[in-house]
Amino acid sequence: MYNEIARNNRRSTIFIGLFFVIWIAIGAVGGLLFKSLSSHAASNVAAPGQTVNYGLAPIFVGMAICAFLAILGILYSLKAGARMVLRVSGAVPADPVRYQQLHDLVDALAIGEGIPKPDVYVIEDPSPNAFATGVSSDKAAITFTTGLVQVMNREELEGVAGHEMSHIKNHDIRLLLVVSTMIGMAALLASIFWRGAFFASMGRGSGRNGGLIVIVIFAAGLLLAIVGFIFGPLIRLALSRRRESLADVSGVELTRNPAGLLSALKKLQQNDVPFKKMNHATASMCIDDPLRHHGSWIHRLYDTHPPIEERIAELEKMVSGPQV
């Protein structure tokens, strides 16, 4: 298992690097497009014998701008990404009296892992689910829905908490935070650029540079949309799917009780209540893919979780074999 975790960490580094390269490539393509279009427009009005040559400057400028935006997104995700996830999910700190059992379970598991106790949050939502977030073990949080607390017994809650604690230990949540933030940033910038292209086309008048600006802005928005809705989710899928299975195994190793998580997953398998406050950007952090219950066939192309039936089958093998 430890070799598999190390292998996945290496793969994660490669995928994060690939994501950064994609952002830089967007800048290069945008700069190349600007260079081509502006040179063409200038040549149409230049005096005979004169040529306009920007060299490679637009390409380097575009790469620098996108590299800066990528670094800015990474820094933001590391600084404020966890708070953003909790805020958009409607999570609130779990009352230590009302949710004493959750606090006790998380505290005991943290001691077993030798890490600081993560903060405990709850979301008022009838759909049973849970997720961990944070950039390091001393700045982590585990969030449970009220639906999960209501349908799970203590043994099952321990299994879920152990699964989420394993994500913290294996540094999965930091990687998913960075990738999810970059995906959201790309989608947001795409929307801003498209709106900018629309308003620029409405107010550009007859200036010869107006059309160039509109085309470049629209193209930048299109490239960012491709990252936000195609490349980004595929990279997140590659990061997330295997990590869920690893978290199941390492969570069982922590609790020493595969039956708890197995029973919890079987209950989650029967759930048909959508998680209302989750979305594509944060669904990959949940123990059970909340978008699975929305029934959209196209979502299955971007599943961030292995089929829950496969996870249950793996745990059943552990239950039927020697106890962990």
The residues annotated as belonging to the active site are 164
Q: Which amino acid is at 58?
A: P
CA distance 110 to 165: 7
* Alpha-carbon 161 to chain mean position: 20
CB contact set of 134 (below 8 Å; sequence gap of 6+): 82, 118, 140, 141, 168, 173, 174, 177
The encoded tokens of residue 267 equal 């209950």
Nearest to 19 by CA among 172, 214, 236, 187: 236
The encoded tokens of residue 85 equal 């996830």
Is residue 275 packed enough to be buried (19+ CB in 10 Å), middle (13-18) or exposed (0-12)? Answer: buried
Residue 176: how many CA atoms within 13 Å on its side-chain side?
30
Q: Helix, strand, or coil here: 286?
A: strand
CA distance 300 to 163: 23
Q: What is the CA radius of gyration of the chain?
A: 24
E-strand stretches of the chain: 92-93, 119-123, 130-134, 140-145
The encoded tokens of residue 107 equal 């505290």
CA distance 239 to 175: 8
Distances (CA, A) of 60 to 50, 126, 206, 226: 24, 51, 29, 21
The encoded tokens of residue 287 equal 């123990």
The encoded tokens of residue 268 equal 């989650």
CA distance 134 to 116: 12
